[in-house]
Amino acid sequence: MYAVIMAGGEGTRFWPRSRFKHPKQLLQIIADKTMLQSTVERLDSVVDVNHTYIVSTQVIKDEIKRQIPFLKPENLIIEPKGKNTAPCIGLAAVMIKKLDPDAVIAVLPADHHIAEVNKFRQILKAAEKVAKEDDRLVTIGINPTYPSTGYGYIQFNGEIEKIDDIPVYKVKTFAEKPDINTARRFIKSGDFLWNSGIFVWSVKTILGEIEESLPELYDGLVEIEKALGTKSQDDIINKIYCQIKSISIDYGVMEHARNVAVLKGDFGWSDVGTWEEVYQLSQKDENDNVVNSPNFLMDTAECMIDVPDKFVAAIGVNNLIVVETKDALLICNRDNAQNVKDIVEAMKRKELKKHL
């Protein structure tokens, strides 16, 4: 099996630690390794390191090389411009197809946290068998623990088979991020899973689905495939990326595909999308505070205070997120953690580049 790790995101909800030249996937958020390093490491024993590809941007290319020094240079795929997940996956697929037309690929975001790595590996191996033997698009769904409006959902409607005692279900529909009432209805029904964004499929199957659902993208990928290994490769990729539409694999392909299966990813998954999720995953003191520095907290509860190398004192505050870097300080209510990205967007509009 091959792996394609998508590592081109900006991670704006993790400002001020996440910056344009050092985004979320390159940070130590939960563990003592960066999120990208953890993603590569958990593929050990499932995917040969020589079969691991990372797709990212020119801006963070050198830092990826520093963090993953054993990655072969040709296995770092640089997109000229971010065009969402469908072009990213298609580009990696045609490059892998050139080496192995029968390859099965696992596609993973670079910035997820998985607590139970061995279970994750078991699920991934089972998904590989389904993709290889049944020629299906396979996705990993997560049992929802609350009515999230921040995740897409997968509706399943019946067990197809078992692979190594792991049930494989038929996917009925994909749903975009819902409003709160719809999310509650999904949870109550019992037949919806969170969409983890982790996929497994053969090169032939995913390119066939792109040809059917996104013919313009497919035509561009065919042109890229013809140029691979030639002097014009980079120029052709640049040209195609200037022309193609930005579209997600979920919206562009998965919602239209008929041969989709889902396995439940019961392995302690989190996409660690906000500082609030870091708070939820972190060890807390007796007052449910998460603090990473010497401190004196009086009448303070349920706060996350990430202020390295400083003594922190707090009196009479609750439910706050406080994050400091050398040049910036974030203070927000935990209920507003999703809105940190809005600060970043506002700074972009005001051209406050030194803070981005």
**Helix (H) or strand (E) run with residue 89 in it:** helix 85-99
pLDDT at 134: 83
Could you give the angle at the alpha carbon of 329 between the alpha carbons of 323 and 333, nearest 5°?
60
Q: How far is CA 352 from CA 17, 19, 321, in A?
A: 16, 12, 23
- Whole-number CA gyration radius for the chain: 21
The SS3 of residue 37 is helix
**Neighbour-count burial of 223, counting CB atoms closer than 10 A to its CB (0-12 exposed, 13-18 middle, 19+ buried):** middle
- Whether 310 and 329 have beta carbons less than 8 Å apart is answered as no
Q: How far is CA 16 from CA 166, 215, 302, 355, in A?
A: 41, 40, 21, 8
Q: What residue ranges of the chain have pLDDT lower than 50?
A: none
One DSSP character per residue, 250-313 reads IIIIITT-SSEEEEE--S-EE---SHHHHHHHS---TTS-EE-S-EEEES-BS-EEE-TTS-EE
* Identity of residue 47: V
Tell me the pTM.
0.93
**Distance from C-alpha of 301 to C-alpha of 283, rounded to nearest angstrom:** 14
* Identity of residue 321: I
Domain boundary assignment for the chain: 2-270, 275-355
**Distance from C-alpha of 219 to C-alpha of 211, rounded to nearest angstrom:** 8
Architecture of domain 2-270: Alpha-Beta Complex (3.90)
Q: How far is CA 336 from CA 16, 108, 237, 328, 343, in A?
A: 15, 27, 39, 18, 11
